[in-house]
Amino acid sequence: MEKAYVNEVFSSIQGEGLYIGLYQLFIRFEGCNLSCSYCDTDNSNKKDFEINGKKYLNPITVDNLLEIVLAEFNLDLYHSISFTGGEPSQQLEVIKTMVTEIRKRNKNIKFFLETNGSLPDNLIKLDEYMDIMSIDLKMHNKESILALPNLLNMLGKLTHSSYYLKLPFDAYGCEDKNLDYLIEQLTANGIKELIVQPLDNMINENIIDKLFTKFSKTDITIRLIAQTHKLLSIR
Residues 62-121 that bind ligand SF4 (CB under 6 A): 85-87, 116
- Bond into 31 cis (ω within 30): no
Find out whether 213 and 184 touch, Cβ atoms under 8 Å: no
Smallest gap from residue 34 Cβ to ligand SF4 (A):
4
Question: Which of 35/206 has CB closer to ligand SF4?
Answer: 35
Residues 5-64 that bind ligand SF4 (CB under 6 A): 32, 34-36, 39, 41
Smallest gap from residue 69 Cβ to ligand SF4 (A):
21
Q: What is the DSSP letter of 200?
A: G
Give dist(CA 184, CA 168) in Å, integer. Answer: 18
Residues 181-210 that bind ligand SF4 (CB under 6 A): none
Find out whether 217 and 186 touch, Cβ atoms under 8 Å: no
Question: Which of 66/197 has CB closer to ligand SF4?
Answer: 197
Find out whether 235 and 12 touch, Cβ atoms under 8 Å: yes
Q: How many residues bind ligand SF4 (CB under 6 A)?
A: 10
| H helix or E strand, kind and range, residue 99 | helix 92-105
Per CB under 6 A, residues contacting ligand SF4 are 32, 34-36, 39, 41, 85-87, 116
